[in-house]
Amino acid sequence: MGTVAQDGRTEGFADGVHDGRPSVAVVGGGITGLVAAYLLRQRGARVTLFEAADQVGGAIRTTRTDGFLAEHGPGAFLTSPLVEGLLDALGVGPAVVEASPSANRRYVVRDGALVPFPVRPLAMLTTPLLSPPAKLRVLMEPLVRTPSPSPDESVASFVRRRLGPEVLDYAVDPFVAGIFAGDPEQLSLRHAFPRVAELEAQHGSLSRGLMASRRRRPAPAGHEMPSEWPAPAHARARLVSFADGMQTLPEALGAALGDTVRCRCPVRLLHRQGARWVLEAGGEGAPVTCTVDAVVLATPAHVLAAMELPAELRQWSTAVERVDYPSMSTLVLGFMRDEVAHPLDGYGVLVPTVERRTLLGALFSSSLFPGRAPEGEVAISCFVGGAAGADRAREGTDLLVERLLLELRGLLGVDGEPTFVHHVYWPKGIPQYTVGYQAVKDAAASMETQHPGLYLAGNYRNGVSVGDCVAEGTEVAGRVGRFLGRRP
């Protein structure tokens, strides 16, 4: 691999003309960019991955200290055949830990108390989470004939129309918070939950649609498995992490990419030069310039605003940059086991907006996976902020711990002071697929179609989960490969 020109010249770095192989720059070393770079490299491209931070992983980052394991972002992820294939290809299978079976139990707060969320349809009829009129409303769902008032309906409007306001407040709102840290009044049903929108469109009812899809054979993976990866050893979806935390995954991808990864190297400028792309990157030192055949921008959408782009790109990127990423805070709190009355026997607890609390939701991390807290102690990962309370996320650590403690004492019977506190503030958390999101998708697609060789990828395009991002990285690598293959 050639060296980076520190004086602003273009050198034989990531430069396709030097060995006949096409060159690709991937900008952003989150899970999306890493997967794209990994696959493109496996397929023979000369890849350079530029990452602004001092390590790869983006939202996926783990800190191990004082016997605790604290996740800055995701604490677990759901596998798919594609994700399993990636884990096997990377050889990290033995490091995977499956969530404890109790993870099926999820609690929701109602009137200040934890209530198990009814996972089976029949449990919906007996749960104290919903009042008898709300349960009746759920049973009547197949009879609802009121059509959607708009082709781009909000999640809240859809749920109120089909299932009633109480289901929105106590069943849907907390789960929307759990996935997007989002506000159902603002999120678009067809963009945030496209499958649910399809069920209504195809079956005229959510319950009829769900029953029909249960009767059908399991859906195919949805994404073609890269031929470079082995057939996955695990066929069923698993909720997993790694013995050493989530960072194992980006670290394994980073190690496989070797010296093609340039950390502390934010891309600041991008422009076209004939059929190729010129990037300027670098931190405080002299800029690094490179010329490549294709570029994958795998940064968060808002990053485009700070990048120097030519006018013909800016006209489209403005719509993409506006995607909202509300602030969030993650606080991993440790307690002595005997100072928490609740058995912490589940995945965690979600807090509906109507309960008006600082806590958005919490994972019972040390119940889910081994090694998250020292012997005799427990770790609870608390989330604050998101679309319905971004201001709360911006508070300092002491104030947040004080507020959370007050709530955890009532909700979980926490009696002592925390033995461990780890706070991460995310000024820009998770992208919100709000009503009108088609404008973002159209602008991103236009940037690509009007500028061959330029690709946009990331959690703001086709889903926010880690699994969605693996699929996104795979898909964009496929598109880049096809583009490069068509070149003379």
Q: Which residues bind ligand FAD (CB under 6 A)?
A: 27-33, 50-53, 58-60, 73-77, 266-267, 298-300, 303, 328, 330, 426, 429-430, 458-459, 464-466, 469
Shortest gap between Cβ of 35 and ligand FAD (angstroms)? 8
Torsion 124-126-129-132 (CA) sign:
positive
Shortest gap between Cβ of 198 and ligand FAD (angstroms)? 21
- Is the separation of the CB atoms in 74 and 330 below 8 Å? no
* Type and span of the H or E element at 413: none
In eight-state DSSP terms, residue 355 is: G
> In this structure, what token pair is assigned to residue 214?
């249960």
Helix (H, G, I), strand (E, B), or coil: what is residue 284? coil
Shortest gap between Cβ of 363 and ligand FAD (angstroms)? 8
- Is the separation of the CB atoms in 289 and 276 below 8 Å? no
Whose tokens are 């403690």? That residue is 405
Torsion 190-196-198-201 (CA) sign:
negative
Shortest gap between Cβ of 270 and ligand FAD (angstroms)? 10
How wide is the angle at C-alpha 250 spanned by C-alphas 247 and 254, nearest 5°? 130
Residue closer to ligand FAD, measured from CB, 54 or 375: 54
Phi then psi for 312, rounded to 5 degrees? Answer: -70, -20
Shortest gap between Cβ of 117 and ligand FAD (angstroms)? 17
- Is the separation of the CB atoms in 184 and 172 below 8 Å? yes
Shortest gap between Cβ of 208 and ligand FAD (angstroms)? 29
Residue closer to ligand FAD, measured from CB, 353 or 381: 381
Residue closer to ligand FAD, measured from CB, 60 or 176: 60
Residue closer to ligand FAD, measured from CB, 53 or 336: 53
Shortest gap between Cβ of 396 and ligand FAD (angstroms)? 18
Residue closer to ligand FAD, measured from CB, 83 or 206: 83
Residue closer to ligand FAD, measured from CB, 53 or 225: 53
> In this structure, what token pair is assigned to residue 36?
């794209």
Q: Which residues lie closer than 8 Å to 144 by C-beta, 6 or more apart?
A: 161, 162, 205
- From CA 64, how far away is CA 217, in angstroms rounded? 42
Of the candidates 105, 188, 103, 179, which has an alpha carbon nearest to the alpha carbon of residue 361?
179
